[in-house]
Amino acid sequence: MSKSRSRVNSSQYRGKYKSIPDPFPVHKLKRVDRPTTRIKDYEVQRVSELDGGFQRANRGEFGSVIQKEYDRFVEKHPLSDSLLDMSKILASAVDGPIRTEKAPLLDDPHLLSNHVKEVAYFLRADLVGICELPPYAVFTHDRWKNEPIELKHKYAIGILIDQDWKTARAFNGSDWISNSMSFLGYSTSGFIACILANYIRKLGFPARAHHATNYQVVVPPILLWAGLGEMSRIGDTVLNPFLGPRFKAAIVTTDLPLAIDKPIDFGLQDFCQKCKKCAEYCPTQALSYGNKVWHNGYEKWPVDIARCTKNRVGNHKGSGCGTCIKVCPWNKPNTRIHNFVGWTMRKIPFARRFAAWGDEVLGYSKPKSKWKWWFDLEDVDGTLTIPKYTSKKLKKYKRRQTKKNKDE
C-alpha cells in the first residue's frame, strides 16, 4: 500500500466502518450464505432477453391482438408514455469511456462498498445491495439487435426504487396508473444507475448501468444474492422486507473491488407458502396456488408467463397490471405500526398465518379511491379519450371476474 493511499485512509474516511448508510434497518435482517430459493448454480442456463414474455408478445407468440397491443400498452396512458420516453433517453447513458488512470483509492473493498452505497443513497435510491455477478444472470443476447452479450464484470450493485405507496394504496391493481408505477421505478432507478456507473468509470473502473430500456442482465438472481429480497409466490418476483414487491430495480455491474452483501432470510418462503393472496387475486390466474417446482436450476413458485403477459399487454381495462403487488400483505408504507407488523411477520412464524386474513379484513386489497390522483385516459389512434373502463366499472367487473374464477 502506497504512502499516499494510507494518507487517504486516515484523513478522509474516519469512522466510516461504524456508519450505516442504509435508510432502512437492513443490518437487522438475518443473513444467510445462500438465497432461500434453492439454486443449482451449474444447471442454470443463461437466457436471451428475447425469451422474456414481453418479447414473445412482440413476436406474436400470444396472437396478433396481443402483438398489436404490445406497441401501445405503455404508451396508451400519457403518464406512463412520458416516463417511458425518459427511460429511452437514458438507454444510451449506460456506458462510456473509462478514465485511463485509476483514482488513488484505498484497496479496501468494505470501504468502497460503503462508499458506493452512500453515493447511491445520496442520489436518492431507496435500497442498495451488492453481490458478485452470477454468470447465469447475464443475458446471452440483447433484445434490440439480438447480438451476443459478453459481460465479464465481477460485481453487481442493485438499486431499488419504490413505486409509490400512496398510488399503490389508491389503485385497484390493474387500472390506468399501473404502468406509470412500473416506469416511475424503472426510469428513476435507471437515472441513478447511469450516474453511479458514470461516476465509477470516472474513478477509473469499468461500470455499466442496466435499466428497463437497456438490460444486459437478469435482475432477480442479482437481487437475491445482493440481499435485497427473497423470491416470492409472485412468479419470478423478488420481494423486499421493507418495500414488499412494490419496487423496480436497476443494476450497475462493475469491476470496482467491492465487499459483497449476503442473501437475507426473513421467513418469506414460509410466508408465501401460507398466504396465497396474489394467486387468488390474479385477474388471469397466472400464479400458482401450489408448491415450488424446479425450473432452469431454480426451485420456485411457477408462473404462467403467457397468461401474465397477455393480461399486462392486452389489458383493455387499464394500462399494465400489478394486482399481485397491490394485494401482497408486504405492500405497506414505512410507518411505525407497519414496521412493527413487518417485524412480527419476519420474526414470528405463527403471526404469518394471520397476515393474509388480517390484511383482507383491514381492506388493503381494495382501492382507497379518495387517494386517487391520476386521470383515467387512453390514447386511441393518437387521441386521448376517457376509457370505457374507469374505476367504478372496474370494481364491478373485478367482482364478477373473481366470482367466476372461484366457480370454475
Closer of 113 and 309 to a second copy (Cβ): 113
If the CB atoms of residues 58 and 198 are measured against a second copy, the closer one turns out to be 198
Q: Give the cell for residue 77.
A: 396512458
Burial of 334 (0-12, 13-18, 19+ CB in 10 A): middle
How near is the Cβ of 168 to a second copy at its closest, in Å? 11
The sign of the CA dihedral 250, 332, 367, 233 is positive
C-alpha cell at 234: 409472485
> How many Å apart are CA 73 and CA 67, to the nearest integer?
10
Please state the closest distance from residue 6 (CB atom) to a second copy, in A.
11
Angle among Cα 72, 75, 76 to the nearest 5 degrees reads 75
Cα torsion for 342, 343, 346, 349, to the nearest 10°? -100
Nearer to a second copy, 88 or 403 (CB): 88
Q: How far is the CB of 156 from a second copy (least distance, A)?
A: 19
Least separation in angstroms between residue 97's CB and a second copy is 11
DSSP letters along 108-149, please? Answer: -HHHHHHHHHHHHHHTT-SEEEEEE--GGGB-SB-TTT--B-
Give the shortest CB-149-to-a second copy separation in angstroms. 24
Least Å from the CB of residue 180 to a second copy: 8
**C-beta of 19 vs 64, nearer to a second copy:** 19
Pick 54 or 374: Cβ nearer a second copy: 374
Q: How far is the CB of 339 from a second copy (least distance, A)?
A: 17
d(C-alpha 49, C-alpha 56), whole Å: 10
Residues in Cβ contact with 57 at an 8 Å cutoff, skipping those fewer than 6 apart: 66, 67, 69, 70, 309, 310, 313
Distances (CA, A) of 399 to 90, 281, 307, 316: 40, 10, 19, 17
The DSSP call for residue 230 is E
Q: Which three cell numbers stand for residue 114?
A: 460503503
Closer residue to a second copy in complex, CB, 123/351: 123
Q: Which residues contact 324 (CB under 8 A, 6 or more apart)?
A: 173, 234, 237, 245, 278, 281, 282, 287
| Beta carbon nearer to a second copy, 79 or 279 | 79
Q: Which is nearer to a second copy, 84 or 223 (CB)?
A: 84
| Distance of closest approach, residue 177 Cβ to a second copy, in angstroms | 9
User: Rounded to the nearest whole angstrom, what is the least distance from the CB of residue 330 to a second copy in the complex?
Assistant: 21
Name the residue nearer to a second copy (CB basis): 106 or 286.
106
The footprint of a second copy (CB under 8 A) covers: 4, 7-8, 11-16, 18-19, 21, 78-79, 81-83, 85-86, 89-90, 93, 99-105, 114-115, 118-119, 122-124, 164, 166-167, 180, 184, 187-188, 191, 194-196, 198-199, 202-204, 369-377, 382-386, 390-392
C-alpha cell at 272: 408465501
* Closer residue to a second copy (CB): 276 or 395: 395
What letter does residue 377 receive in the DSSP assignment? -
3-state secondary structure at position 105:
coil
User: What phi and psi values does residue 387 have, to the nearest 5 degrees?
Assistant: -65, 155
CB of 146 vs a second copy, minimal distance in Å? 27
Beta strands 293-295; 230-231: pairing state: unpaired
